[in-house]
Amino acid sequence: MWISPEYKKKRVGKAGEVLIGESFENLTADEALIILSNWRSSHAYPLNSIQNSLRYKVKQIYKAEGIEEDYLIAQRLKRISSIKNKLKRFPEMKLHRMQDIGGWRAILLDNKLIYQLKDEIVNKKNFNIIKEYDYIKKPKDTGYKGIHLISEYCGRKESFEGLKIEIQLRSKLQHYWATGVEIIGTFTNQQLKAGIGEQKWLLFFQLVSSLISNLESNEPINAEKARNLKQLDEELKVLEKLTTYTVFANFTEQIEKTKGRFLLMLDIDNRTVNIENFNNNQLSEATEKYMELEQKHQKENIDIVLVEAKSIQDLKKGYPNYFADSTSLMEYLLLFIGKEKT
């Protein structure tokens, strides 16, 4: 069922260099893709190994606080295009040292719960957290906020020893912001998430992030920043764009009622997303199809990703950018710039 690493780390690192055109020594591009596919797929088991503990910790926190279980947990294997872009930005990183090929995302109500969960994870030995990045206390230049924890596998299966998984912790508001960044980045062909793109767009989301901080800290909305945001919205027509980026999802009624792995294919030009479901025993089939579609559509304006969620509803909430669903963010944008909802 589980796919183990078949190549030495040095070979994996070399494959990464080939994929970004840095080295072609004794390795073809096709061979490099085969190595990458195996390396990526081998992160599925370490992802799964911490699943129950992560879900249990979140449930316990909500129970202790006596609040309704309003949270979301989902996982994904990183897209080849994202892996390549990251290696190009940070060539010294090397593919075998990349820490977020497999990733969990936990979206909780607020920062108080985020820090509670962070402490629980860090203090639990089976998570084996080796690095912490607190982007709430020190946001990225883009305005991104969240906590990233790097977990290194140290379980019973020796073949997975040392593989790293990233656990992202975000509040709901931070998730709405990140969703907006990804949607605009996708449809305007900019890497806004990485801080690459038109300056006005980058500034727009920096301002939104700052105003969200006002809300999360129970502070008054900064009037000057709200005015600047309104001006940028008028110039960039942000609300108008978010409204028109409607994506139509294609999936069967059967998938709507199921859980497991979902292969999402977002056709940006046609604004459709196709969803294919695989059960937990079909990892090989899912990862093979993932690679096949990425290769087939690599020159087209199409995003493909393999994720896992408990339901279609959780899938839409965890990865709303694939459905271009910015409804929640738009409500806050309207609040910030003083427009009435239409």
Tell me the pLDDT tens digit for each residue of 280-289: 889 999 999 9
DSSP secondary structure, 190-242, as one string: --GGGT-S-HHHHHHHHHHHHHHHHHHTTPPP-HHHHHHHHHHHHHHTHHHHH
Nearest to 88 by CA among 23, 30, 21, 39: 21
Domains, the chain: 43-172 (3.30.460.10), 176-244+325-337 (no CATH), 248-322 (no CATH)
pLDDT by residue (tens digit) across 69-126?
899 999 999 999 999 999 999 988 999 999 999 999 999 999 999 999 999 999 999 9
- Whole-model pTM: value is 0.91
Q: State how beta strands 102-108 and 164-171 pair.
A: parallel
Q: Indicate the SS3 state at residue 89.
A: helix
Could you list the beta-strand ranges (E) of the chain. 72-77, 102-108, 129-134, 147-152, 164-171, 248-250, 260-267, 272-278, 302-309
Question: What is the 3-state composition of the chain as percent helix, strand, coil, each rounded to the nearest 5?
Answer: 50, 15, 30
Q: Indicate the SS3 state at residue 270.
A: coil
Please state, in angstroms and rounded to a whole number, the distance separating the CA atoms of residues 132 and 129: 8
Give 249 or 139, the one with higher predicted confidence. 139
Please state, in angstroms and rounded to a whole number, the distance separating the CA atoms of residues 90 and 296: 26
Q: Give the max Cα distance, the chain.
A: 61
Given a contact cutoff of 8 angstroms between Cβ atoms, the answer to whether 165 and 173 are in contact is no
- For residue 1, the model assigns a pLDDT of 79
* Angle, alpha carbons 181-312-183 (nearest 5°): 15
Per-residue pLDDT at 253 exceeds 60 = no
- For residue 316, the model assigns a pLDDT of 86
Nearest to 327 by CA among 337, 336, 317: 317
- For residue 246, the model assigns a pLDDT of 77
Distances (CA, A) of 269 to 187, 245, 246, 303, 314: 8, 10, 11, 11, 25
Please state, in angstroms and rounded to a whole number, the distance separating the CA atoms of residues 299 and 120: 43
